[in-house]
Amino acid sequence: MTRPVPVGTSRLARLGFRDPSRAADLLGPDGLGWWSPEASAPAGPDGELLITELAAAADPDLAVLTLHRLNAAQKEPAALAASLREDVGFRHRLFGVLGASAALGDHLCAFPDEWRALVTGVWEPSPPSPELLREILLDAVGAPIDAGETWGSAGVKARGSGPDVVADLRLVYRRCLLRTVARDLSDAGPTGRSDVAMIATELADLAEATVRAALAVSAAALPDGAPAVRLGVIGMGKCGGRELNYLSDVDVVFVAEPGAPGEEFPGTENPGPALRAATSLASGMIRICQEVAWQVDAALRPEGKDGPLVRTLASHAAYYKQWARTWEFQALIKARPIAGDLDLGMAWMGEVTPLVWGTTTGKSRRDGAAGREGAVAEIRAMRQRVEQSLPAKEAAREIKLGPGGLRDIEFAVQLLQLVHGRGDATLRSGNTLDALRALIDGGYVGRLDGEAFDSSYRFLRTVEHRLQLQRLRRTHSLPTDHDELRWLAAMLGHRGGGDPVEAFHAEWARHSREVRRLHEKLFYRPLLEAVATVSNEDLRMLPESAQARLEALGFTDPSGALRHVQALTQGVSRRAHIQRALLPAMLGLFADAPDPDAGLLAYRQVSDRLGTTPWFLRLVRDEGLVAERLPTLLGTSVYVADLLTHDPEGLRLLAEDSELRPRSREVLHGALRAAATRHADAESSVVAARALRRRELLRTAFADLLGFDDVETVGRALTDVCDAVLVAALGVAERVVSEQRQGELPMRMAIIGMGRLGGSEMSYSSDADVMFVHEPLAGASEHDATVAARAVAEELRRLLSMPAPDPPVGIDANLRPEGRQGPLVRSLGSYAEYYRRWSKPWEWQALLRARPVAGDEDLGRRFVELIDPLRYPAEGLDTAAVTEIRRIKARVDVERLPRGADPATHTKLGRGGLADVEWTVQLLQLRSAAQVPGLRTTQTIAALGAARDASLISEVDHDALVAAWELAAQVRNGLMLVRGRPSDQLPRHGRELTGVARAVGWSSDDDTGEFLDDYLRTMRHGRQAVERVFYA
């Protein structure tokens, strides 16, 4: 329950103070003097301004309390008060810090003069250079700045090692941190978002300077006469990558060598004085850093916490060459010398770097860490173990270790670095964002994916920074307390209307989902493991062993498959090199397809067509979805292989799920019209439009085979693109005839879709069933209009049937009045006269699918108004008409089924097939559409739903008819996809049956016999429903 706001403090409540009474006390005469209790208002213009700006802090209550404490701690409060009144920048910086960090507020109260570090003129808006930070921190401990690097008794030493020196270092560190925080919050402004990468780099530079100063203090603690020793400090993790948090552990590794020329360490098992001195120096540094700022963690050293803290260069090299595990090489990506003897640090880098990335020269050639057996699987398993170790309640609040967190980004980037960085030195950065940018620029990560990763990484790191800033504690879990969440939301700019906590959660969830999606896409690329582990030599198999492997994989013609492999991989070109890396994994994927031989052949043909096109192999190599999907598609569908061979650019559609969604009618019509109008001659115009249709057919077939779209969506997509082609082609045909006639056309014209085109249920093998209707313009004769309209229709058919690299668009006008014997085109009046005098029930039935698809919209609308009374008769059908329709159906069942066809598995005319269901639906429409508006549709499934809702059929019959129609339509599409040519007959065995089963969604583990049984059972139930409804 919300507490009532005391009278007189409501204004403070509106400004955002959760406890306005307490705020009034702290701001009042006995406090800061900015609030007048008598007036229940700010005390004067200064009070108004100061309170309003203080209330803009992320936590106004914390800010006013801490400011009150800070004011009380001042020896001369007037100086602070004057600066707050007069220095706008200082005021914003101080209020921002006080509302963001209780820990820094406590620090300011403990050291009351430190606020002066934020005063304009002292505070710098630009981040200090690493060199300046080193000077500031070394000066704090009295270490000479220009005396070289700190490495033992002969190196840089602080003025002492006592508590006073450590306290001075702590104070200066906090002063630098305070300035960084103020810079962070000032740059963030109202949005709450600053350049997190810049801040993380500054924090890493500050940590590096602190380590150097701590090393100088530790060196001062060494006894006189301590042996000379060289000590290198290697930054690891976020410090090494220059992407540190406010409260990260600073990960380090120590390497030591004797300081005297020619001297050697006796070894880590029995360390001598020099190695003991190096260990003392390192231990002291760790202790001092912990007292000053944060933990120093040396657990990433060889053998972890069980190993010696300090090792020699030779000991490090031996360990990494013989015993290191993959994750240890992964950690080395971020290694960077940060303190001590930098020459020794670089020598250490020279030993370990080739082990990470591999070497291709010299006597000891290495494949790099990713080439180790099981390396990719080991890295993936480690990421999974981290996730599984999180309790469910914690995982839901984790921004670092949980699914969709920072580790998802870091692991994905580092795995791609390890795999591809062996051959591309630009990928070897220890900084996550820099590495990600290099992966994007090199084409290893798609630009959209990379930008999304970058955006989410910056968001999550900002959240992590804000959480740690509050108490300067190491944390990466979201709070559960609502007030703390509200503070966090405010810190991130969610302060406007609505619930800020809800807005933050929505933003976090969006980034988390996107990170997880991209992590799974990049981290689990199907080909990544093969690319990592297969060397070029491994692919150069002897023909005998290669042929045996291909035969074992299931290729029917292994010698032919080997010829394809050799053609793709021979030579020294970059293309052949990439193919040699890709094919070992892809061969296994081809083997899982119904027809591996056809799939590999099609892949070779597509590869040959694209030649040296740079994006093709990069797409297959780096976009996991393409590599995973392409072998399955090519090994399943001859139709897809034919389309891709003529349109290899269509391969790009596989890279993004969003590219497989059907395009809207508006987009399709606009694109095809634009393509047609870009060319002057008619043939080129329609060829261009048909080429776009081919791309859309490929998009639809991809989505269909991959299970994205159901059969109704496929039918609509195929219909929409056919509509668009007809619209574009009609425009071109009208232009041609107009030019031939040397004048404007004397009529308006429309195309009426019939059959599957009219019903928006086209299949891959469907022709476009149409009727042409025209109307003479004012002053034109009907004869002249008919001649011109017929010329347009003939030109349309010619243009759409021209030889071209894409499937032709068959125009079938046989459903017009009088069929093939009747005129190709009629005027609207002629249609009206025919239907009034001579139309039969079967023609009314055909008109149930009629839908205007192209041409004059008003003419199309009036044609529909003309035919509605015929197809939706007010009195339904009389007995004679019903009998006639049933008689024709019986004749169709007998006469149109091809000789030798199996009626149980014929998708169109078989028992329970498409014709059975459609005739049943259409009879229901003719009998009842006048009374049931829902039946006035051209679509089969929609009409069945309306019939069920009107209780014209039972739920059982509805479900049986829908299931039969959908499965028959799916299988009919599957037959076209698998064979590449029209077919209505489902085979009962063989590879084609397997292909159809896969095409309609059955997996490779499913028994094709079960698929056939399911088809027969579904058709049987559908036929039983037809018997109950059609013949009722």
Q: What is the mean pLDDT of residues 211-218?
A: 96
CB 808 within 8 A of CB 801: yes
Q: What are phi and psi of 679, to 5 degrees?
A: -120, 145
Regarding predicted confidence, which is higher, 297 or 523? 297
The first and second tokens of residue 660, run together, are 């497989």
Kindly tell me if the per-residue pLDDT of 1004 is higher than 80.
no
Would you list the domain boundaries of the chain? 10-118, 130-357, 375-524, 876-1030
User: Mean pLDDT over all residues of the chain?
Assistant: 90
Bridging pattern class, strands 768-776 and 747-753: antiparallel
Q: What is the mean pLDDT of residues 38-46?
A: 89
CB 180 within 8 A of CB 206: yes
The first and second tokens of residue 257, run together, are 């060598």
CA–CA separation, 294 and 289 (whole Å)? 6
CATH value of 876-1030 in 1.10.1740.110, 3.40.50.2020, 1.20.120.330, 3.20.20.140: 1.20.120.330
CB 690 within 8 A of CB 806: yes
Give the alpha-carbon dihedral of 158, 160, 163, 168, to 10 degrees.
-40
Kindly tell me if the per-residue pLDDT of 260 is higher than 70.
no
For residue 1017, give the amino acid letter.
R
pTM of the prediction?
0.65
For residue 61, give the amino acid letter.
D
Residue 223: count other Cβ atoms within 10 Å of its Cβ: 8
CA–CA separation, 675 and 572 (whole Å)? 40
Q: What are phi and psi of 521, to 5 degrees?
A: -70, -45
Regarding predicted confidence, which is higher, 3 or 213? 213
- Please, which residues bridge with residue 842 across strands? none
Using alpha carbons only, what angle is made at residue 166 by residues 165 and 171, rounded to the nearest 5 degrees? 100
Q: Predicted confidence band at 577 (pLDDT cuts at 50, 70, 90)?
A: low
Question: In this predicted structure, what is the pLDDT of residue 1?
Answer: 40
Burial bucket for residue 804 (CB in 10 Å: 0-12, 13-18, 19+): middle
Regarding predicted confidence, which is higher, 359 or 821? 821
Q: Predicted confidence band at 648 (pLDDT cuts at 50, 70, 90)?
A: confident
Question: In this predicted structure, what is the pLDDT of residue 922?
Answer: 97
CA–CA separation, 794 and 988 (whole Å)? 42
Kindly tell me if the per-residue pLDDT of 643 is higher than 60.
yes
CB 729 within 8 A of CB 770: no
Kindly tell me if the per-residue pLDDT of 360 is higher than 60.
no
Question: In this predicted structure, what is the pLDDT of residue 10?
Answer: 87
Mean pLDDT is lowest, of 304-318, 365-379, 558-572, 999-1013, for 365-379
Kindly tell me if the per-residue pLDDT of 491 is higher than 80.
yes
E strand spans, 728-809: 747-753, 768-776
For residue 991, give the amino acid letter.
R
Question: In this predicted structure, what is the pLDDT of residue 441?
Answer: 75
CA–CA separation, 270 and 247 (whole Å)? 36
Q: Is the dihedral of CA 443, 445, 448, 452 positive or negative?
A: negative
557: DSSP letter: S
Q: What is the mean pLDDT of residues 340-366?
A: 82
Alpha carbon distances (Å) from 166 to 106, 115, 215, 807: 19, 21, 11, 80
Give pLDDT tens digits for 239-256.
999 999 999 899 999 999
As a three-state string, the secondary structure of 291-314 is: HHCCCEECCCCCCHHHCCCEEEHH
Burial bucket for residue 447 (CB in 10 Å: 0-12, 13-18, 19+): exposed
Give pLDDT tens digits for 112-165.
999 999 999 888 889 999 999 999 999 999 998 765 554 555 678 999 999 999
CATH value of 130-357 in 3.40.50.620, 3.40.50.2000, 2.60.40.10, 3.30.460.10: 3.30.460.10
CA–CA separation, 529 and 714 (whole Å)? 35
Consecutive H or E run containing 717:
helix 711-741
Map residue 936 onto helix, strand or coil: coil
CA–CA separation, 270 and 563 (whole Å)? 61
Q: Predicted confidence band at 376 (pLDDT cuts at 50, 70, 90)?
A: confident
Kindly tell me if the per-residue pLDDT of 536 is higher than 60.
no
Q: What are phi and psi of 123, to 5 degrees?
A: -80, 135
- Please, which residues bridge with residue 336 across strands? 235
User: Count of residues for the chain?
Assistant: 1032
Integer-rounded Cα radius of gyration of the chain: 39
What single string gives the DSSP state of each residue in 16-61?
A: T-SSHHHHHHHHSTTTTS-EETTTTEESHHHHHHHHHHHHTSSSHH
E strand spans, 676-739: none
Q: What is the mean pLDDT of residues 760-766?
A: 95
Give pLDDT tens digits for 803-859.
888 888 899 999 999 999 999 999 999 999 999 999 999 999 999 999 999 999 999
Architecture of the 375-524 domain: Up-down Bundle (1.20)
Burial bucket for residue 318 (CB in 10 Å: 0-12, 13-18, 19+): middle
CB 258 within 8 A of CB 274: yes
Residue 523: count other Cβ atoms within 10 Å of its Cβ: 21
Q: Percentages helix, strand, coil for the chain, rounded to the nearest 5? A: 65, 5, 30
The first and second tokens of residue 219, run together, are 């060196």
Give pLDDT tens digits for 72-120.
999 999 999 999 999 999 999 999 999 999 999 999 999 999 999 999 9
The first and second tokens of residue 131, run together, are 């060199």
Per CATH, 130-357 and 375-524 having the same topology is answered no
Give pLDDT tens digits for 943-964.
999 999 999 999 999 999 999 9
Q: What is the mean pLDDT of residues 458-482?
A: 93
CA–CA separation, 894 and 1031 (whole Å)? 17
Kindly tell me if the per-residue pLDDT of 576 is higher than 90.
no
Q: Predicted confidence band at 537 (pLDDT cuts at 50, 70, 90)?
A: very low
Question: In this predicted structure, what is the pLDDT of residue 574?
Answer: 59
Q: What is the mean pLDDT of residues 608-616?
A: 78
Map residue 854 onto helix, strand or coil: strand
Residue 1031: count other Cβ atoms within 10 Å of its Cβ: 12
Name the residue among 717, 600, 593 with its Cα closest to residue 997: 593
CA–CA separation, 304 and 299 (whole Å)? 5
Contacts 24+ apart (CB under 8 A), 594-597: 594/635, 594/636, 594/978, 594/991, 594/994, 594/995, 594/998, 595/635, 595/636, 595/991, 595/995, 596/553, 596/554, 596/555, 596/556, 596/561, 596/635, 597/555, 597/556, 597/557, 597/560, 597/561
Kindly tell me if the per-residue pLDDT of 24 is higher than 60.
yes
CA–CA separation, 227 and 607 (whole Å)? 66
Locate all alpha helices (DSSP H) within 398-495, ordered by sequence: 406-420, 432-441, 447-471, 482-491
Question: In this predicted structure, what is the pLDDT of residue 937?
Answer: 97
